[in-house]
Amino acid sequence: MWMYSRETWTMAAGMLALTLAAAAAGGLLCGSGTALLCAGLGLALTGIAVGGALARLREVARLGDYLAAVYAGGQTADIRDQRPGELSRLKDDLYKVTTILRRQAAQLEQDKRFLSDTLGNIAHQLKTPLCAILLQAELWESGAGSGRDECARQVQQQALRMQWLVQQLLRLSRLDAGVVEFVRQAQSARQLIERAAEGVEPLFRRRQVRLEIRCREDAVCSCDGEWTAQALLNLLQNAAEHSPAGAAVRVSFSASPLDVCFAVEDEGGGIPESELPHLFERFWRGKHARPGSAGIGLSLAKAIAEGQGGSLTAENIPGGARLTLRLFHCPV
């Protein structure tokens, strides 16, 4: 019976005190000594009841101070109480609620910083081609440029760069929002590689880099063809941009009972070990990134792989680097 709450004992003491006082006053207890004893006992019990009530009020006041500190955003103590009773349960519930609110506030602050950084990076990426277009327009208008055709070519080149950047950002935003529904079907692995290679053929030709495909004609994988081809295109583009003239980029495909792998290898000298942990971070650019690199191609490829239950990893190999896109037969 000693497991009753402090509030229950306080109430019981108060009721007993009132009962004894009423009995003594009404002469229900015989003898003056007995009456005095009962009166004294009643006063003692009344003191216990009053003390318990005051203690309860102090606990409520401390809860008020705790909530005020939470509202002010300050540090708060752990108010959880293992003792039985309604007030202890209230403390536990308040602590749980404030803990959840603090976590949500921290996540909100992190999201705000991420949004601010992302908007700043997007503005920076768009600023360069916009400035180039405006400069060409001014040169064209003043007649100081290298010719109408050259100005038009420069404007088109920068406009295409902006278009590519916007498309990549839109794809990333769709993946972030979780609105992309990957449709996994049997696909020809070689056709996926060739489809991706078509999109970067001008880049390979301009940088004088050759592409070597090592994949059987009958190789098949289960994936979303459109999105996987986009991921492979980004990997090929990254490899070509970091390869010297005359180098080769090799794409291979392998399959096991568990998964399938697309591996893209380049001869660009490898990735500094200090940069490997940041390689797939959005808008991150390494020391040897080409001028104008946006730093979103690899992060998009990784998001596409993970969206299909797969992964994208990077490692150094002799003379270059290897990026491996892995897709499991049954997404995990």
AA letter at 65? D
Length of the chain: 332
pLDDT confidence of residue 210:
96
AA letter at 240? A
To the nearest 10 degrees (0 to 180), the angle between helices 86-142 and 32-72 is 10
pLDDT confidence of residue 2:
43
Cα 245 to the chain's mean position, in Å?
38
pLDDT confidence of residue 104:
77
pLDDT confidence of residue 244:
93
Contact 309, 325 (CB under 8 A): no
Burial class (CB in 10 A: 0-12, 13-18, 19+), 75: exposed
- pLDDT per position as a tens digit, 251-304: 999 999 999 999 999 998 899 998 888 888 887 777 766 655 667 889 999 999
**Integer Cα distance of 296 and 176 in angstroms:** 13
pLDDT confidence of residue 29:
47
Cα 157 to the chain's mean position, in Å?
34
- pLDDT per position as a tens digit, 184-199: 999 999 999 999 999 9
Cα 78 to the chain's mean position, in Å?
28
In terms of Cα–Cα distance, which of 322, 328, 324 is closest to 307?
A: 328
Share in percent of the chain as helix, strand, coil (round to 5): 60, 15, 25
Relative to beta strand 185-188, strand 248-255 is unpaired
pLDDT confidence of residue 81:
65
H/E stretch holding 220? strand 220-223
Residue 317 pairs with which residues in a beta bridge? 320
Residues of the chain with confidence (pLDDT) below 70: 1-57, 60-61, 63-64, 66-67, 70-88, 91, 111, 114-125, 127-128, 143-147, 288-294, 330-332
In terms of Cα–Cα distance, which of 187, 130, 183 is closest to 159?
A: 130
**Integer Cα distance of 147 and 204 in angstroms:** 28
Order of strands, sheet of 210-214, starting from the edge strand that comes earlier in the sequence = 210-214, 248-255, 259-265, 320-328, 311-317
